Amino acid sequence: MTLAEEFRSRNFSIYGQWTGVLCIFLCFALGVANIFHVGFVIAFSIICLVCAFLIIFIEIPLLLRICPTSPKFDAFIRRFETNFMRAAIYGVMSLVQWLSLLAKPRPTSLIAAAIFLMFAAAFYALAGIKGQAFQGSKTLGGQGVAQMII
């Protein structure tokens, strides 16, 4: 199945996964950009960076096989294999970034990360509500690609 066919499948978990990939880049870039602020925003930018690395392992299952990680970390990441669990983790990450508004009188660019994390949570929640099975993108190492490297 090509990338265009995946998007035409109308499976919201595919949309959520690709929004999550976009969140990887956004969280990393905005985390680095906001780490130079003065004040409590630094804590939220560090959390944003940590979220970027978590999302990498959640959304790209091939990396769990390639990168040397601990069994505890692998078990933690494997908890997010269903649509509702992914919606929950993205919702929590989004909420944390929305709380960054309280850290500074002026909003920072971390709002963009909060918005896109919220979109990813909404896509996964819609997939769960519609009863769609989680379908990982083959481009990102889902459904057979990870098994091919064993």
Considering the domain boundaries, does residue 2 fall inside one?
no
The sign of the dihedral angle between the CA atoms of 67, 59, 29, 47 is: negative
- pTM, 2 dp: 0.85
Instruction: Give me 73's structure tokens.
Output: 């970390």
- Could you tell me if residue 142 is inside a domain? no
Residue 56 lies in a domain: yes
4 falls within a domain: no
Range of the domain at 65: 16-135
Q: Looking at the 3D structure of the chain, how many domains does it have? A: 1
In a domain, 145, yes or no: no
Q: Mind listing the pLDDT tens digit of every residue in the chain (150 residues)?
A: 565 665 667 788 888 888 999 999 999 999 999 888 878 888 899 999 999 999 999 988 788 888 888 889 988 998 988 899 999 999 999 999 999 888 777 788 889 999 999 999 999 999 999 888 777 666 666 555 444 444
Domain assignment present for 150: no
With residues binned 3-state (H G I as helix, E B as strand, rest as coil), the percentages for the chain, rounded to 5, are 70, 0, 30
- What gap in Å lies between CA 101 and CA 44, rounded to an integer? 10
- The pLDDT of residue 24: 95
Rounded CA gap, 37 and 21, in Å?
Answer: 26
Structural element, H or E, at residue 52: helix 41-59
Q: Within a domain: residue 146?
A: no
Residue 8 lies in a domain: no
